[in-house]
Structure 1
Amino acid sequence: MRSPHLTRPVRRPLSGPVPGGRSADPVVLVAHGSRDPRAAVATRALARAVAVARPGLPVSASWLDHTEPGPAEALKALGAAGHRSAVLVPLLLTAAYHRRVDIPAAVAEARAAVPALAVRVADVLGPVAEEVDPALLAALRRRLAEAEPGRFDALVLAAAGTRDARARSSVGRVAAALGSRSGVPVRVAYASAAPPTVGAAVARLRAEGARRVAVSAYFLAPGLFHDAVGVAARDAGAVAVSAPLTDAPELGDLVLRRVDAAPADHLVPTAGGPADGRTPSPAAHVPGQQNAPSG
């Protein structure tokens, strides 16, 4: 006769910590969003890659614009399903307007609808506290090697563009780290909103003597900006343009590290604006920006 404790069902919480400091809370990835359908496909691919990398972890995708569901709707759905906590991961390469304003607003909306839901908001995928994660650099280098396995003597780090000076400084830190890791000079260029253009950056490096200039695409997903960067770079003489990061294995690893490091139930004031307490400047946001690295 079986002992009763062997047949008693084990009740497990719908979310919470797991051994080893790894989070078991359901994860909601939140991307910028784009009118280009390829961007949503790329975000879903990254969500699948993250789920595969940590079996049993619920991972879903959301978007700030153009594609449903939005982050507030995704969080509300988790609360309605009985989850008591969740982690929101901004798929953003800088902590600019979207991270400081749009994401906190979405979390506040979800919490107003589901007060029992605790939401941890992770850091962006770009530099945090001026530190560039090695996984981000590894993903950029992977895409460069896939585009052209040969050697380069100069690189252009091409980003979507932003008017936010702090966001541009963040992109500059990535360029400096990429140059240090690659051993070649790296210039920053933008597809919109700020100079220099990708074509101008490639042309300048070639004028300075570089013969093999490659462009490293600082984009999380394909879209119109990445397409424009590719055309401009090749017209200016670049030998290669890397693909967007999309679901690079290193990017999935970075997402999981951000999940595990997300602070406990981190919320910003619901009526006071961004997390840093400053009033956001409309000029920091480029309306309609697609695949933008700025948050």
Structure 2
Amino acid sequence: MTAADLPSLRETVARHGLDARKSLGQHFLLDPAVCARIAALAGDLAGRHVLEVGPGPGGLTRALLASPAAEVVAVELDRRAVAALAELAAAHPGRLRVVEGDALRVDPSALLPAPRRIVANLPYNVATPLLVGWLRGAAAIEGMALMFQQEVAERICAAPDTEAYGRLSVLAQWRCRCELLLRLPPGAFSPPPKVWSAVVGFTPHAEDPGAALFTAMERTTAAAFGQRRKMLRGALKSLGEAEALLAAAGIDGARRAETLSVAEFDRLARALLARSG
């Protein structure tokens, strides 16, 4: 089978019984024009090795294969979709590798050679833990273009002193330059979700904080935003001597988490690591 012989996406869905399953957070992109637009938002893919998670019937996968990417590796948990993707792999010999499994257990740097990019319409139910894992290993990733529920996308890109600003905002912006690239209405998906969705672009910062500092930042943000209505001197008590930690970072303990910039959280995390190290 060649690419020209492939059935349409809707035919693929019907042939393989690919009704979207809520338990897997599935909402399929079946419009080739939308898929092509998302692939284009991922930037220049020439020579890149691209990881896609939750490809379903392969709409975005087809768009990525139409790009000059060196290779696409699609990680899919749903066996019905794996069978559908096998047809696509046969039509693009040597350029599509399908991995059946849980993306939460996959290390992109072990699965793909560099340069690596991640482009995906993420399953809603695992989008946040997937992102945090990739942020932890962002030094090995050139860039990401990821689809989330719009509310999550807005949290990722939120500025301090706004309602949406929180732990995910800090972790994402600490490790990457984040940009909301595209909003899509429910009708762009099959079946339509109840909310809008959005694509966020991530460009990792050059400095790699390392595993220990990333863990310290996770602990700091979890404590600070876990009780976000409290002043920091109260919210950070679970980390030990909160007043000493705040003094070391030069931050007033009467402030609340949502008022701190990403740079101030960086100072807090470094102070925590220095104290615990």
TM-score after normalising by structure 1: 0.28
Where relative contact order (Cα < 8 A, 6+ residues apart) is larger, the structure is: 1
Higher helix share: 2
TM-score after normalising by structure 2: 0.29
